[in-house]
Amino acid sequence: MQVGEFFWKIEEDKDLRGVDLQIGDDPAEDIMVVEDLHSGYKTRFSIPAILENDWPMLRDIALGRKSIQPLYHVTRIVGYYSRIENWNKSKIGELVDRRHGNYSLAS
């Protein structure tokens, strides 16, 4: 898929939005960060990954339906981005609660 086409697909998609574009010294290091609007998960797509895959595959990755390396989901906690693939169930649950604004303690 071409990079420009990827940008347009993200803009048109009701479940995703582009949240960041990180430009490196080498174009192969450029990163597009895409957020799943329902879960709040963010996925970093490298330009080579975009060029090597088609839209259905990239969309499934961004929505957490498929996972391939070097793509991974990240979230911004306390001012920095963190990978979530190595988080335990409790930490993932905490992230989901934060996304939904559920800050109450269960009794």
Q: Which domain holds residue 10?
A: 3-99
Q: Which residues contact 36 (CB under 8 A, 6 or more apart)?
A: 15, 16, 42, 43, 62, 63, 64
Quick one: pLDDT at residue 10?
93
Quick one: pLDDT at residue 95?
76
Under 8 Å between Cβ of 85 and 69: no
Q: How confident is the model at residue 70 (pLDDT cuts 50, 70, 90)?
A: low
Query: Does the predicted model carry a pTM greater than 0.75?
Result: no
The whole-chain average pLDDT of the chain stands at 81
Decide if 92 is inside a domain: yes
Q: In which region does residue 37 sit, left (phi positive, over 0), alpha (psi from -120 to 50) or beta (all else)?
A: alpha
Sequence length of the chain is 107
Phi, psi angle pair for 22, to nearest 5°:
-110, 120
Which strand ranges, in their side-by-side order, compose the sheet holding 42-46?
16-22, 31-36, 42-46, 72-77, 80-83
How many domains is the chain built from?
Answer: 1
Average pLDDT over residues 64-69: 72
Which DSSP category does 27 fall into?
A: G
Decide if 7 is inside a domain: yes
pLDDT per position as a tens digit, 4-23: 899 999 999 999 999 888 88
